């Protein structure tokens, strides 16, 4: 069994981006990071994004509207960032406080600055295999993890657990694409799938993104499977200072001995999401500068 090291691979991507950005004449790429409220996970995610941007040489503009901001005001803020030629990418940290319509805010972001890839136009471009669009960061990170671990999906059966617009569906679309590294046969499973273990046992590559702690057990996979565990779940652990530990959607201890390759949680898909956000920001900069 080989561990797919997301920290190492994300580090490679960050180093490549840093070299690329150093070669840009004129102003540096810029990402606007919008965080509303003090949700501790959001605070830490935005800090991580800011830190990674700085490491690459991407400028970040941190915008912290008051938690009392209304929908119209927030959308006006997005409009002003859309119209600001010095901003290449816009990220609105999810979740927004109750009362704000998150999907309306995401839709408001101009498609060419939608570095999270949540705008319907970018999802459409993904379906059409139009490379001028932006793929959602976590699924794009999954494809990088596979490619850089020497896994060619061509002809393989990829089973995706979960059909969310942020992970499951775009991951399935990327694996299905008619291009090098992809060309998989794809099955998407969800909460209404009957006999899930019969599906997952067919997987050459299993992508688990359901948000259920250690759900995928050894009896649900075939020997030699490649496992990408997207899940981030907290389980109570009194031995930890925090009182919890993070586990994936896969029972790592049971499944890893059967797998040919597997991502750990943490340290697998997680670091890739931020790296791909930065990659999308550099792409937005390049597209707007005709490079």
State the catalytic residues: 49, 93, 116
- Show the binding pattern over residues 68-87: x = contacts ligand NDP (CB under 6 A), - = does not: --------------------
- Contact region with ligand NDP (CB under 6 A), list: 28-36, 49-57, 170-178, 188-196: 188-196
Q: How far apart are CA 129 and CA 122, in angstroms?
A: 10
Q: How far apart are CA 205 and CA 176, in angstroms?
A: 13
Contacts (Cβ under 8 Å, ≥6 apart) of 172: 158, 160, 163, 186, 188
Smaller CB separation from ligand NDP, 174 or 196: 196
Which residues within the stretch 225-284 sit at the binding site for ligand NDP (CB under 6 A)? 230-233, 269-270, 273
User: End-to-end distance of the chain based on CA atoms, in angstroms?
Assistant: 41
Smaller CB separation from ligand NDP, 138 or 280: 138
Q: How far apart are CA 92 and CA 71, in angstroms?
A: 13
- Contact region with ligand NDP (CB under 6 A), list: 50-58, 124-132, 156-164, 179-187: 156-164
Q: How far apart are CA 85 and CA 3, in angstroms?
A: 42
Q: How far apart are CA 220 and CA 71, in angstroms?
A: 44
Smaller CB separation from ligand NDP, 108 or 163: 163
Instruction: Return the residue of 30, 34, 161, 205 that touches ligand NDP, per CB under 6 A.
Output: 161
Look up residue 216 and give its DSSP letter.
B
- Output the smallest distance, CB 76 to ligand NDP, in A: 28
Residue 192 binds to ligand NDP (criterion: CB under 6 A)? yes
- Output the smallest distance, CB 135 to ligand NDP, in A: 13
Q: How far apart are CA 83 and CA 68, in angstroms?
A: 24
Instruction: Give whole-number Cα distances, 87 to 7, 59, 76, in Å.
Output: 28, 9, 15
Residue 172 binds to ligand NDP (criterion: CB under 6 A)? no
The contact set with ligand NDP (CB under 6 A) reads: 138, 161-164, 166-168, 189-193, 196, 209-212, 230-233, 269-270, 273
């Amino acid at each position: 069994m080989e561990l797919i090291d997301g920290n190492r691979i994300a580090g490679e991507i960050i180093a490549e981006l840093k070299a690329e950005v150093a070669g840009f004449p004129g102003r540096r790429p810029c990402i606007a990071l919008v965080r509303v409220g003090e949700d501790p996970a959001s605070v830490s995610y935005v800090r991580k994004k800011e830190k990674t941007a700085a490491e690459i040489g991407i400028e970040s503009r941190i915008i912290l509207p008051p938690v009392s901001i209304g929908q119209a005001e927030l959308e006006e803020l997005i409009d002003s960032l859309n119209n600001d030629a010095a901003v290449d990418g816009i990220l609105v940290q999810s979740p927004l406080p109750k009362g704000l319509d998150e999907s309306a805010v995401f839709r408001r972001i101009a498609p060419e600055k939608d570095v999270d890839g949540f705008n319907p136009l970018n999802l459409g471009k993904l379906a059409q295999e139009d490379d001028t669009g932006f793929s959602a960061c976590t699924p794009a990170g999954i494809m990088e993890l596979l490619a850089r671990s020497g896994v060619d999906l061509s002809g393989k059966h990829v089973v995706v657990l979960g059909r969310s617009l942020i992970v499951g569906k775009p991951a399935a679309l990327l694996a299905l694409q008619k291009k090098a590294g992809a060309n998989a046969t794809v099955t998407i499973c969800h909460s209404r799938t009957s006999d899930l273990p019969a599906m997952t046992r067919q997987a050459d590559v299993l992508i688990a993104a359901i948000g259920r702690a250690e759900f995928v057990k050894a009896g649900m996979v075939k020997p030699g499977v490649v496992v990408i565990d997207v899940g981030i779940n907290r389980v109570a652990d009194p031995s930890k200072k925090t009182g919890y530990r993070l586990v994936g959607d896969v029972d790592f201890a049971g499944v890893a001995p059967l797998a040919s390759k597997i991502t750990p949680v943490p340290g697998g898909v997680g670091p890739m999401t931020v790296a791909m956000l930065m990659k999308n920001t550099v792409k937005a900069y390049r597209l707007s500068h005709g490079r």
